[in-house]
A and B are shown apart, each in its own frame.
Chain A
Amino acid sequence: MTTSTIVVGLDGGEAGNRALAFATAQAKLIGDCTLKLVYVIEWSPFSFQTPEENEQRHVRREEELSLARERIMEPALKKAAEDGISVNGIVKHGDVADILDDIAKESKAQQIVVGRVGLRGLKERMFGGVTGRLAVASSVPVTIIP
């Protein structure tokens, strides 16, 4: 693989934007570099659900995916493309840290870039604790943007 890849974790908020901005700058410096933007919808197959939730799960999942694509992924892809960066995006359900790491491994990425949310993260669901877990467990270097 000649092209280097950077996995960027988005969270639909400021932290994700900072991560994207940093990764964009890096990609420009590297030159031959693709950004892989990842947005993970927090979800566990081991949660407990009501029968009604189960019945509608498939529909909800589609809705969640298309909303995330439309509101978070599309604007980010557009922005990166405007900056002249080669970019693609993935939206998935699951555990954020696990999925970022899996995708990094799969695409033989050089690093993962995520933004740090700080205290607000408790509410934001996305990167609260994720940065820490990634730093501990990931198989590629992780850059955490403050």
Chain B
Amino acid sequence: MNKFLSTGLGAAAISALPAIASAQDAVGMDQRINDIFAGATGWFVNLIFMSLPGTNFPWIVMWLVVAASVFTIYFGFVQFKAFGHAISLVKGDYSDPNDAGEVSHFQALTTALSGTVGLGNIAGVAVAVGIGGPGATFWMILAGLLGMASKFTECTLGVKYRNEYPDGTVSGGPMYYMTKGFKERGLPMGGFLAVVFSIFTIGGALGGGNMFQANQAHAQISGIVGDYPGWITGIIFAAVVFAVIVGGIKSIAQVTEKVVPFMGILYVAAALVILIVEYDKIGWAFGQIFDGAFTGLGVAGGFVGALIQGFKRAAFSNEAGVGSAAIAHSAVRTKEPVTEGIVSLLEPFIDTVVICTMTALVITISGVLVMDPATGQFVLNEAGTSIKTIDGSSGVQLTSAAFATGFSWFPYVLAVAVILFAFSTMISWSYYGLKAWTYLVGEGKNKEIVFKVIFCFFIIVGAAANLGAVIDFSDAMIFAMAVVNITALYFLMPIVKREMNSYFSRLKSGELKKFIK
């Protein structure tokens, strides 16, 4: 499988999957589903992850990076200019006290973050550094910084064109700015784009936002308690998710929403402690990151390999340009859509520039990557596909091993974190999928329940089976969302620019003031 996923997050899954499969009685069945699915969808997966002619650089990654660069320049490096203002907004300095009790900027941001912070930050980075070497980190950070502009664009539009219903609930997301925004600009095809986007979103929600998460969570659990059939994990997860999204048992979701940020903080804190203890190596690690970014330091594919891996993992981790964040951010209470765009640019920063970099530094410093002391170059594994690691692990296991050099108990915490991150990602994506679903079939309790039940069913499928092709397809779906979404963003970016200029000029003139508490 020379596809995006086999070199990506999936490497971790694939290493764990044979064990799961052997514990299954339904291997034959899985295989059949796999074959049928691969036959029907393979062309689509290949199309999305096709390399640019004469390179092994997937065009979709180029698409995301070019878009992020265009938005960065078009909006005058808004991610740096408005960074301080973003923090001020999140602190609530500009929130009207009379809106107390409404969704705050902080809540919109953390809700969106709990959908993106997860396996991408733990497993994805390990894969990137394992294949592309520490130099991949440089490109990952760059892609993260550029991606902030994409988020800014899509989230501003998400709030501006959201639907507010008579009952007071709100629905937002790319499908709404595609239809309403295109209409406003007198452009055709808005409705068509919205339908295509919704279909891809449902696919992405069931795949990357669900089956892949369930699969990885099971791999983590069985890695600790020993091997057992995946459907058991699947049913437990499905039952809990069902209780939350169908049963409306908010307490479970609320507990997760409180524990997940705590896990994120714990993860970063643990990384910081390791870095502080090994502070004398930090300079060396950054040296590795910069040297590796341009020379490759002997990793698979040289510096191009580092670049591709860095860009890929950043895109997968922070979802900038995919459109999912526009759905998550749109519930905020604000009179100025731009404010939520500005807040949202913190998301790739926290996700990629901070958390992913922490993971990469810990892996680099911990010495789990085998280096030839004579040449200072990394040693490749026998297959020559990635850097040799001290225990032969990759993905989550590699991150786990790296953190274990600092804290022997950390793999257990990491396992809990992975499970919780997987759970919160599922909850978030069930919502994104639902929004796309109701956009297509219409709102209504029964219609919603149909989707929610399908969603829970796919959790069991994802945890139980080795459905490489299904997961490939779903990942392709998430990136296909970006194709449609970014197309729309190009057409709508003048609207964002107008909003942005108006907002900043009013801020400068003092028309918009801080509320003094």
Contact = CB atoms under 8 A, between A and B. Distances in A.
A1 to B, nearest CB: 22
A50 B257 contact: yes
Contacts of A82: none
A61 B245 CA distance: 21
Given A48-B111, A48-B258, A55 B169 contact: yes
B170 A58 contact: yes
A110 to B, nearest CB: 22
A59 B245 CA distance: 18
Most B-side CB within 10 Å, residue of A48, A61, A62, A93: A48
Contacts of A51: 111, 115, 327-328, 331, 427-428, 431-432
B261 interface: yes
B246 to A, nearest CB: 11
Nearest to A65: B101
A49 B257 contact: yes
Nearest to A43: B101
Contacts of A47: 107
Given A50-B253, A50-B427, A61 B102 contact: yes
A3 interface: no
Contact of A57 (B103, B167, B250): B103
A38 B477 CA distance: 52
Interface string A75-119: 000000000000000001110000000100000000000000000
Nearest to A91: B101
Interface residues of B, number: 40
B333 interface: yes
Contacts of A61: 101-102
Contacts, number: 92
A59 B331 CA distance: 12
Contacts of A57: 101-103, 331, 333
B431 A50 contact: yes
Contacts of A45: 92, 95, 100, 104-107
Interface residues of A, number: 25
A52 B107 CA distance: 12
A54 B113 CA distance: 14
Contacts of B167: 59
Given A54-B331, A58-B170, A59-B169, A43 B100 contact: yes
Most B-side CB within 10 Å, residue of A45, A46, A65, A102: A45
B289 interface: no
Contacts of B114: 48
Given A46-B106, A54-B107, A64 B258 contact: no
Interface in B404-441: 427-428, 431-432
B100 A49 contact: no
A145 interface: no
A56 interface: yes
A40 to B, nearest CB: 9
B21 interface: no
B110 interface: yes
A57 to B, nearest CB: 5
A62 B168 contact: yes
Interface string B324-355: 00011001110000000000000000000000
Contacts of B258: 48
Interface in A2-41: 41
A108 to B, nearest CB: 17
Nearest to B258: A48
B171 interface: yes
Interface string B81-111: 0000000000010010100111111111011
A94 to B, nearest CB: 5
A65 to B, nearest CB: 7
Contacts of B97: 94
Contacts of A53: 250, 253
Contacts of B115: 51
Most B-side CB within 10 Å, residue of A45, A54, A94: A54
Nearest to A47: B107
B102 A58 contact: yes
A17 B97 CA distance: 27
A56 B169 contact: yes
B108 A54 contact: yes
B258 to A, nearest CB: 6
Given A45-B105, A49-B257, A59-B167, 11 more contacts: A48-B111, A48-B261, A49-B111, A50-B111, A50-B254, A50-B257, A51-B327, A51-B328, A51-B428, A53-B253, A61-B102
15 contacts: A43-B101, A45-B106, A48-B258, A48-B260, A49-B111, A50-B111, A52-B431, A54-B107, A55-B331, A58-B168, A58-B170, A58-B333, A61-B101, A92-B101, A93-B101
